[in-house]
Amino acid sequence: MARWYAWERTAPYVFIAPFFILFGLFGAFPIVFAIWISFQDWRGIRAGEFVGLDNYARLFTDSNFHIALSNTLILGVLVVPLMVLFSLGFANVLNYPIRGRVLYRTGYFLPVVTSLVVVGILFEFFLGSTYSPLGSALELVGIEFKGLLGTPLFIKPAILIMLLWRWVGYNMMIMLAGLQSIPGELYEAARIDGASGMQAFLYITIPLMRRVIAFAAILSTIGMFNLFDEAYMLVGPGGGVDRAGLLMGLIIYKQAFLNFKFGYASALAYVNALFIIALSFLQIFISERVASD
């Protein structure tokens, strides 16, 4: 009774705590408001006209949405496995007591904290400019270089390279934390039993790192569907030549802040969120099934 009485007296004051006030203003309210305007023809400067499910129905006939979704899925299929593979490989190497490993860890993590504007300008110069070192090297052997970003075939690989360069270090630190939680006695016992390093990695590291790998894969999937900065810096809001780099983050930005169709942009954002949720649950389901087999 005393506990219930204390809760009854303090409960009204809990929801006026700074956390709940800030979450309500910058978290809950934008989510609810975005749902509301997704059913309206909201253009930001006047009251929106209620259009029901028209914004969602428009998705089926919008070629930009189809291209953005397919580009995002293609890049996601490439980025997520490579991100997990490289980050786990680097983390496994840097988990050993090698000389200068702190310096190596810092070097791999450095791109994460580097200014994205600077990174985007550098990548655009090296991959897109005819005056880049790559262009100069090709001209020496008689090959005319017009920039990789001007060719639709190379736009996705360019975005892929930039993503891996920037985010492998972040995922590597997550993997490294997981590796350091594995007891060293397991590897010692495997070594005594005659297991090779590869066998220890396959039968000890991978099973015990399963949830960490799934966590990194889910983060990479979420990041892929919300990707904006890297693609915008390389190919702009239109996605470059033949819209080869048009992604979900770019089309949402373009509809909201260039075309001022906030209702349609909100519908795009919520469909994008549904894909993220579905793929995240699928990854969790696969991870748990693999563990149980």
All residues at 6 or more sequence positions from 187 whose CB lies less than 8 Å from its CB, including other chains: 200, 204
Within 13 Å, how many C-alpha atoms sit on residue 258's CB side? Answer: 9
- Cα angle: 112, vertex 209, 105; to 5 degrees: 30
CATH of domain 62-115+155-292: 1.10.3720.10
The tens-digit pLDDT sequence of the chain (293 residues) is: 445 444 445 555 555 667 777 878 888 888 888 899 999 988 776 667 889 899 999 999 999 999 999 999 999 999 999 999 999 999 998 888 888 888 888 888 999 988 888 888 888 888 877 777 777 777 777 766 677 788 888 899 989 999 999 999 999 999 999 999 999 899 889 888 888 888 988 889 998 999 899 999 999 999 999 999 889 989 989 999 899 999 999 999 999 999 889 999 999 999 999 999 999 899 888 887 776 66
Across-strand partners of 234? none
Across-strand partners of 40? 50
> Which phi and psi (to 5°) does residue 166 adopt?
-80, -40
Please provide the size of the chain in residues.
Answer: 293
Within 13 Å, how many C-alpha atoms sit on residue 74's CB side? Answer: 16
> Which phi and psi (to 5°) does residue 50 adopt?
-65, 125
Closest CA to 287 of 207, 223, 179, 198: 207
The domains of the chain are located at 62-115+155-292
Contact assessment for residue 185 and residue 230, using Cβ atoms and an 8 Å cutoff: no
